[in-house]
Amino acid sequence: MRSLNTPLYHPPRSAPELPRGRFDGLEGATARVHPLAARDPVHGAISPADVRPGDPISAQVRVAGRAGELAAQVWRLSPLGVELVRSPALGTVAPGDELDVTLRVGASTTTFAALRVAALRSDRGREILAVRWSEPADPEPSPEEKRGASRFPCEREWLPTGVAASAVRYDDRIHFRIVDISRDGMQLVTSLRNKFLIPGVEFSGTCTFPTMGQAEVRFQVVHARVAQHGAKRSLALGVTWSVEEPGARELVGQYLLQFGPGASVQQLRETGFHVRSSSRAMDFGAVRSEEEYREVLALRRLAYVHAGKAGPEATDEQMADALDARSRILVAKYRGRIVATVRLLFPPTPDSPLKHQDYVTLPPGTPPHDEIVELSKFCTHPEFRGSDLFYTLVKHCALTTLQSGRRYAVMSCTDELVKAYGRVGFRPLGASYVHPTMRLEHHLMMAEVARVVSGKHVNPVVWNLMGGWELWSFSRLCGVAPESRLLEARVAVWRLFGPLARAAAAFHVRRKGARGWRR
């Protein structure tokens, strides 16, 4: 039973702007609802439903100042109010008096406290007490009255939809759209014909999130009002929601990342949505303009300061060097904003010096330099760590290396990242140095990309996470992968671990929560 202790239910508000913060400024069309003027003093623009004999709807009433509850016949009902037949026991009740009303609608029971009688009517020979719990129209609320949790408006062109069974009428369905989502609440828009969705009613629906899939969601109505949605008047419902399947909340988080208002992975995680794959919402490419290059420099500074590799006084200009002009700089963009980057250098001759030779002597046996791609300045926006972005950017580095016809990738990293790069096939070369400006020890590492894509030095779960089959197929097209039945057999076996890799990623998201992946 739900107890409502306030005299009136306030209708839901127009969706506010997503709070600006560490990752803001992303714009897009979002769904909005706006209040309408009232028609009927109780039911507003809604034509209430007649309650027929046999409908699973009943009421208990207690008059303020009197002991005991009285059964009352429900005459008509809408999401905004109820009409009760005034029986002889309620003969002294008049407009302005307060009633405590307990309504049972289907399997749901709601208690409204201290509702004022709005009107006394006569209908087909009966005296009718009209009571409302929600104002037909409400002014714009003050900021402190709005929902406390972060709300994520959904893009108008990609609204999730849902369908649920009516709590009252047999073989009747409730069709709705979801226009904004928070950790525990949603705003739904549905037809005005759904007249039994009063506060407190619970229902379960099958919700479809575009390109993501379906989820079974349990709802409870908190408040309702008439709203303008596009060119049509609709019923706007503020609801709480819950799911039994843990993967369903991840699905909602994935939808919000791709079709929400531009929230970062970290913002979603802090709100309770743990995103497994951020790369699905990303565009990958290379820097092609001066504007993009300056954005890369700003990201380098942000990432280095956050990781303690540069002091807060560092400037964007200090993140650049002469090699940038001779490199290919890969980037990942989220809603047009660069959130990850890595630099690739292609030495033109076997003896062309590597950037790392400024700091350390290469060990004997290092391949000719024109077979190497040198990776450096790998940076990820702090609010987009903790998903698969690292693995996907490594995959794009491998694709670029294969496309260039080269076999090896060389890079260096600090102590805490050795394991992360080791998981994707890099092996220490036994040479280390202290970076002159960062003052941190770095370890030189190398991967034989042509063999890593065949599963060598990579466990099958990580191989699938980094798109191993796609890389292997591409390496065969480029003529880089060696002809070997043994390698082909290993790839075939590694592919069988695909479902396990997806399950492991989902388990990792649920178990680690806010920590995410190491990188």
For position 43, which CATH number holds? 2.40.10
Where is pLDDT greater, at 42 or 218?
218
pLDDT band (50, 70, 90) for residue 380: very high
Q: Are residues 284 and 380 in the same domain?
A: yes
What average pLDDT is seen over the chain? 85
pLDDT band (50, 70, 90) for residue 509: low
Q: Are residues 259 and 327 in the same domain?
A: no
Residue at 439: amino acid letter: R
Residue 239: closest CA among 172, 164, 305: 164
Give the CATH number for residue 467.
3.40.630.30
How far is C-alpha 413 from the geometric centre of its chain's CA atoms?
A: 31
List, for residues 141-184, the tens digit of each pLDDT value.
443 344 445 889 999 899 999 999 988 888 789 999 999 999 99
Give the CATH number for residue 235.
2.40.10.220
Q: Are residues 265 and 408 in the same domain?
A: no
* pLDDT over 90 percentage in the chain: 59
DSSP 373-410: EEEEEEEE-GGG-SSSHHHHHHHHHHHHHHHTT--EEE
Q: Are residues 312 and 424 in the same domain?
A: yes
DSSP 155: B
170: left (phi over 0), alpha (psi -120 to 50) or beta: beta
Q: Report if residue 141 sits inside a domain.
A: no
Can you tell me the mean pLDDT for 211-220?
95
Helix (H/G/I), strand (E/B), else coil: 514: helix
Beta bridge partners of 79: none
Q: Report if residue 144 sits inside a domain.
A: no
The pLDDT of residue 511:
56
Helix (H/G/I), strand (E/B), else coil: 54: coil
Residue 262 pLDDT > 90, yes or no? no
Q: Are residues 431 and 306 in the same domain?
A: yes
Residue pair 428/419 in contact (Cβ under 8 Å)? The answer is no
Q: Are residues 168 and 92 in the same domain?
A: no
Q: Are residues 166 and 254 in the same domain?
A: yes
Total structural domains within the chain: 3
pLDDT band (50, 70, 90) for residue 325: very high
Q: Are residues 259 and 285 in the same domain?
A: no
Other C-beta atoms closer than 10 Å to the C-beta of 172 total 12
Sign of CA dihedral 287, 288, 290, 291: negative
Q: Are residues 299 and 400 in the same domain?
A: yes
Q: Are residues 302 and 366 in the same domain?
A: yes
Residue 477 pLDDT > 50, yes or no? yes
Tell me which residue range forms the domain holding 433.
279-515
Rounded-to-integer distance, Cα 344 and Cα 404, Å: 11
> Among 132, 158, 187, which residue terminates a domain?
132
